[in-house]
Amino acid sequence: MKKFLLVLLLISLGSQAQELKPGFDQFEYLQLLRAYARWGDSTYYKQIPESRTYKKKGRKYRSEEVGFMNSWEMYETPSQTVISIRGSTGDQISWMANFYCAMVPAIGTMKLNDSTSFDYHFADHPQAAVHIGWAVSACFLLPDIVRKIHDRYSKNRKDFIIFGHSQGAGIAYFVTAQLKYYQRIGKLPKDIRFKTYCSAAPKPGNLFFAYDYEASTQFGWSQTVVNPADWVPEVPVTVQNVQDFSTTNPFKLADKMIKEAPFPNNIIMSYLYKQLTRNNKKALKKYKLFLGRVASRMVSKNLKGFEPPKNYYESTDYSRCGTPVILNPDEEYYKKFPDNDSTLFVHHGILPYSYLTEKLKL
């Protein structure tokens, strides 16, 4: 028995010391989930064992709260450094980041307060656009994260895991994208390896942001872990308009094709085209009004000195992002975690995600 335990210990230590590898690692993700659970108190994580890899007493750093009550913490193994980003808290201002969900271009400047502006570059594509609430959160966190990365790199640490669950996952997309951009322009060393786990992640931006992000992290360097019973990966609400397509598309020629069609086909086609596109345009206007301009007034009252954008991106076409890892619930799962309209996060917490991860057969 003692020999068996010794072998398990050596295997565990070996997994902690190995070089960071691409692709989904069941053990790695489970330990990140368990460590993340320790953000809460003992009533929150009472059914979740402590991480064998990232123990609470071994935590190296926890940041101050900034922006929308955003915070992050750092763990280390002998060879890896983890950047774990906190999700939503029970505070109203934390939830403002979620509801402030109009889109802004993926390149720009955020005026965070009276003394601080942040230049962000989350994607190269000129049509890429992102969720403003989580983008602002990332901009608040990134200067501190970059400082810590430089510090750890100076001690010859080059392997970093970025982790977030729920809102933290939405922010993790933008933190990862910005760090990858910094590597390209020389602000961070190119020999740093970043690997990202976005757990229970909402949709962070449009399809063109997703294309850019997935291209920069492809071949296993960013995993999006989803429980299909969880509603959070289905938000924000998405409305697609004809301007959301790539530059070359048939909808650009719709007016010309309708005018050139013979009578009465042109009248019928014009009527049908308006019916198919009119309500989407109205939905976009309301989306920008309530979840952009109205929400920004509430945000400005809570983030002193924050300057909201004068114009929002003309889109609400949100898309899922990252390499998907699907934790498929079965009949046994629903017996343990039954659907419940009075407990809206029954499928979203650490416990159901941990349970499904443990059952994965890779």
Q: Is the dihedral of CA 143, 148, 150, 153 positive or negative?
A: negative
Q: Hey, what are 186's tokens?
A: 């020389």
Asked if 284 and 239 count as a contact pair (C-beta separation under 8 A), the reply is: yes
Q: What is the dihedral of CA 57, 63, 64, 66, to 10 degrees?
A: -140
Other CB atoms within 10 A of residue 127 CB: 20
- CA 351 – CA 332 distance, rounded (Å): 15
Q: Provide the CA 81 distance to its chain's centre, in angstroms.
A: 19
Residues 6+ apart with CB under 8 A from 30: 354, 357, 358
Q: Tell me the domains of the chain and their CATH numbers.
A: 24-359 (3.40.50.1820)
Q: With bands split at pLDDT 50, 70 and 90, how would you rate the model's confidence at 192? A: very high
- CA 249 – CA 83 distance, rounded (Å): 41
Asked if 236 and 203 count as a contact pair (C-beta separation under 8 A), the reply is: yes
Burial status of residue 172 (CB atoms within 10 A of its CB: 0-12, 13-18, 19 or more): buried
* Residue 267 predicted with pLDDT over 90: no
Q: Is the pTM of this model over 0.85?
A: yes
pLDDT number for residue 253: 67
Condensed to tens digits (0 to 9), the pLDDT of residues 103-137 reads 999 999 999 999 999 999 999 999 999 999 999 99
70 strand-pairing partners: 66
